[in-house]
Amino acid sequence: MNGHKRKCDKCDRPATVHLTEIIDGQKLEKHLCEVCATQEGLTLQPTMGINQMLEEFISHTQQAKQLGELVCDHCGMSFLEFRQGGLLGCPHDYEAFATALVPLLQRAHEGAGEHVGKVPTHAGGDEQRQTQLLRLRTALKDAVVNELYEQAARLRDEIHKLETS
C-alpha cells in the first residue's frame, strides 16, 4: 500500500482488515484494526489468532505437499498425478496412496472404507503374486523402452514362470 501502513478508520491502530462493499452501485471501502473489526462483527474467527491460522495453513500445505509427493514404486504414478487425472496407475496404488486415498474413499462411499461384497473364488493369484507380476511387468516395460533387451528377455522368462506356476 504505497509503502506506508494505513491507519484504522476508527482509531489510530494500524488497519489489518480491509473490506470493499458495493451498496447500490456505490463502492465503499473500510479499513479497520482487528479490535474495531471485531466490534463491527467483521472478523470471521476472532478466536483464532493469525499465528494459529498460519500454523494450520502450513501444516495443511505440508500435508498436501507430502501427499502430493507419494509415488507408487510399481507404476511410478504420483498422488498429484492421480489428483489431476482422476485415474490410478495400477492396483498397487491403493496401498501406496492409502493415507491419502482412504479419506477420499470414505467421502465417495458414504463413510465406508472396506469391501464387504463378492469375493472371487477362483482367482488364480493371491495378492503377493499379483504384486510381483505387476512389478515384473513394469520393469519389462521400462527395459523395452530403454532397449535393454537382455534384461527384457530375462524379465519375460520370469513373468512366464510366475504365470504358469
Partner 1 sequence: MKLSDLSHRLAQWLAGTGPLAEIVISSRIRLARNVAGFPFLSRCSEDQRRQIADTLQGAITAAGVLDDPLTVDVEQAVELDRQFLVERQLISRQHAAGSGARRMLANGAETVALMVNEEDHLRMQVLATGLQLESAYETIDRIDDAVEKRVAYAYSGRYGYLTACPTNVGTGIRVSVMLHLPALKMTGEIEKVFQAARDMRLAIRGLFGEGTEAGGDFFQVSNQTTLGRTEKQIIQDFREQIIPDIIQYEKVAREALVDRKTDVIDDKVFRSLGLLRCARLLSTSETLFHLSLIRLGVHLGRIRDLSLQTVNELFLFSQPGHLQKAAGREMTPDERAKARAEMIRAKLN
Total residues found in the chain within this entry: 165
Site for partner 1 in 116-135 (CB under 8 A): 116-125, 127, 129-130, 132-134
Name the nearest CA neighbour of 69 among 81, 57, 59: 81
Min separation Cβ 24 and partner 1, Å: 33
- Please state the closest distance from residue 134 (CB atom) to partner 1, in A: 5
Q: What residues have CB less than 8 Å from 17, skipping those under 6 apart?
A: 30, 31, 32, 33, 34, 37, 42, 43
Q: Which residues 74-113 are close enough to bind partner 1 by CB under 8 A?
A: 74-77, 85-91, 94-95, 101, 104-105, 108-113
Least distance from C-beta 152 to partner 1, angstroms? Answer: 11
28 strand-pairing partners: 21
* Positions in 130-159 near partner 1 (CB under 8 A): 130, 132-134, 137-138, 141, 144-145
Residues 22-81 that bind partner 1 (CB under 8 A): 74-77
Q: How far is the CB of 121 from partner 1 (least distance, A)?
A: 7
CA angle at 130 for the pair 95 and 76, rounded to the nearest 5°: 50
Residue 62 C-beta: closest distance to partner 1, Å:
24
Q: Pick between residue 34 and residue 93 the one whose CB is nearest to partner 1.
A: 93
Buried b (16+ CB within 10 A) or exposed e, 128-163: eeebeebbbbbbbeebeeeeeeeebeebeeebeeee
Helix axis angle, 149-164 relative to 127-145, nearest 10°? Answer: 160
List residues binding partner 1 (CB under 8 A): 74-77, 85-91, 94-95, 101, 104-105, 108-125, 127, 129-130, 132-134, 137-138, 141, 144-145, 163
